[in-house]
Structure 1
């Protein structure tokens, strides 16, 4: 009886130890995914266009366009006293560039979901 009890206790302790190691592996995988997300965000900014289903090339070009637009917005805001008209022209110009980059269905999703976030002359700018 004592031998069976000892064998059962050994089996339970080995099983618990194996489960604990498995949990560490999943935690390590989560850590690796978070690290990838951090390097992606540091390289491309905090852009997420998952609903558009972009190719990697399209995503790189879109991020580059948005960063260029952002730098031009800053220069316009510094340079002009009343920049609203210039910012509207800038929005139209970059809207055409984005429209040429994306397919029709992607552009429709862009205009419905994402475009308001990257608009230069919205209420968020002047409040």
Structure 2
């Protein structure tokens, strides 16, 4: 079993003022227990997580979550295949390019679940 975790889950976890903070804490506890199996993010998602966390919670919190991610999750790289698939999705999906890379990556790598607070992913066929 495997799960790709979107930026907003980690950002909500780090930011006590985020509307999803409590839910993110619960999800992180479940991730920590291994309930979802292997945990994946991408290099693009890593970039978003540390940047948004820095802006919302400060550089110390961003560095802390960055170190945590580097030591505890599997980071997939956006390669040519993912990039090209994401570009095709982007041209019609009207969502961020990073979200398109997530969709492409989940499909290509056959990841079982996607964890996100973003409802935009519901429009894609899995």
User: Quick check: TM above 0.5?
Assistant: no
TM range (shorter): under 0.3
Using the size of structure 1 for normalisation, the TM-score is 0.25
Structure showing the higher helix proportion among its residues: 1
Query: Which structure has more strand as a fraction of its residues?
Result: 2
Greater gyration radius:
1
Q: Which has the higher contact order (CA 8 A, sep 6+)?
A: 2
